[in-house]
Amino acid sequence: MSRLVVFVVILMLLTAACGLPAITTPQPAPPLSTPSTPESAAPKTEAPYLSLIINVHDWTHPAESADILLRLVDLFERYGVRGDFYFTAEITRQLAEKHPQVIERFKHSNMTISYHVRPPHPLYTGFDDRLKGLDDAALYQTLLDYETYALDLATGDLDRSRPGGYTYVAQVFGRNPVVAPAPNSGRIKDAGQRVYAALGAQMTLLYHEEGTELEQPFVYVHGLLVRPSDFSVTRNTLVDGTDHFWWNMMSRPNAADYRPLRLLELGLEEWERKTAGSPYARQPFITALIHENNFYRRGAEGWTSIYFTVEGSKKDTPLPPPWNLSAPDLSKPRPAGEQAAIWQAYEELVAYAAAHLNVLTAQEIVIMAK
């Protein structure tokens, strides 16, 4: 039986309730049943695989984050597809405390929950001084503590009076985040991956937009599947050789050249040229990633000036602790017309993907790889 046929059968079975493994340290709330796959997302046997990924991290503008998250869930459900939402602990806390309707919406939706970190989490490169020099056992325990207790955003220390990290996100949403990237490198990255595997994650990242081997798309590290991605429609150089995020081009005269559906078409054409005649030719895994703040704000994230020096609108050098949580917010609201153009272009991609591609989240890719 081919891998694809097995995948089809598994996806059909996924419509039945399917529990995710429970966290043992610390004990979370009883996990909800795994949301079912929408019937309209039935596999298309000769179509590429596309993941609609939303990185959620804008804890400095939680009301705007909440609004766009609800809108995105509505969009995905309208087209019968699932999105993969990567939450940080900080934005999860803001939503749980100030916008609990968002948490409830996700808990009872079929969206996939994943996890990621941002400064000043010590796994984030440039904020890892406290990890350097620790022996293997101490390194593992320290990272486990940071995925168990709250992170003090001003000092980078642990607040052991409150839950935090991966386990907090799992508790809030009632199920284990599927993906938990461990940024950084070397033994710090390895320790992070082992911690996440122990806590119940099933997938990690070694690259963001491309890097999957043609002949072997499924690779494991410390028991975690590496998220496959052959190319992305997030940022692209196929238009004119210049690297741009598509959403920052939607108010330009040549916006049509950068619409994500156009970038998808260019990427597929390039994939066909690349794989033509190869004995390992297969359908590509495509990443369509956007951050929730990209829909409504321009420039660096609102927390950038807290943790970095800034050149133009880009992060430069990490700042040392303690950090000024009242540092000026360098991000700016996007004009209404630009927001509308970004949303229209994104919905165009979602509608096309729902009709013509296999739209998968990490949850289904993990099953597919088995």
According to DSSP, residue 179 is labeled B
- Average pLDDT of the segment spanning 20-31: 35
The CATH H-level (homologous superfamily) assignment of domain 3-296+334-369 is Glycoside hydrolase/deacetylase (3.20.20.370)
Long-range pairs for 22-29: beta carbons < 8 A, 24 or more residues apart: 22/176, 22/200, 23/167, 23/170, 23/171, 23/176, 23/199, 23/200, 25/144, 25/148, 25/167, 25/198, 25/199, 26/148, 26/163, 26/167, 28/167, 28/170, 28/171, 28/174, 29/171, 29/174
pLDDT band at 42 (very low <50, low <70, confident <90, very high): low
Q: What percent of the chain has pLDDT over 90?
A: 82
Q: Which residue type is seen at 291? A: H
Question: Can you say how many angstroms the Cα of residue 246 is from the centroid of all Cα atoms in its chain?
Answer: 17
3-class DSSP state of 334: coil
Q: What is the enclosing helix (H) or strand (E) of 342?
A: helix 336-356
pLDDT band at 238 (very low <50, low <70, confident <90, very high): confident
User: In sequence order, what are the beta bridge partners of 236?
Assistant: 244
Give the pTM.
Answer: 0.89
Task: Give the pLDDT confidence score for residue 313 in this predicted structure.
Answer: 64
Q: 28-37, 163-172, 224-233 — which is least confidently predicted? A: 28-37
Domain boundaries, the chain: 3-296+334-369
SS3 content of the chain, % helix, strand, coil (to 5): 40, 15, 45
Return d(Cα 56, Cα 86) in angstroms, integer: 6
Mark out the alpha helices in 157-259 (DSSP H runs): 165-173, 186-199, 255-258
- pLDDT tens track for 329-358: 999 999 999 999 999 999 999 999 999 999
Find where tokens 């990633």 sit.
Answer: 289
Structure-block tokens of residue 228: 């496959």
Mean pLDDT of the residues in the chain: 90
Return d(Cα 86, Cα 292) in angstroms, integer: 10
Q: What is the enclosing helix (H) or strand (E) of 259?
A: none
- pLDDT tens track for 8-17: 334 444 433 3
According to DSSP, residue 249 is labeled G
User: In sequence order, what are the beta bridge partners of 314?
Assistant: 311
Q: Judging by DSSP bridges, how do beta strands 224-226 and 285-291 pair with one another?
A: unpaired
- pLDDT tens track for 77-120: 999 999 999 999 999 999 999 999 999 999 999 999 999 999 99
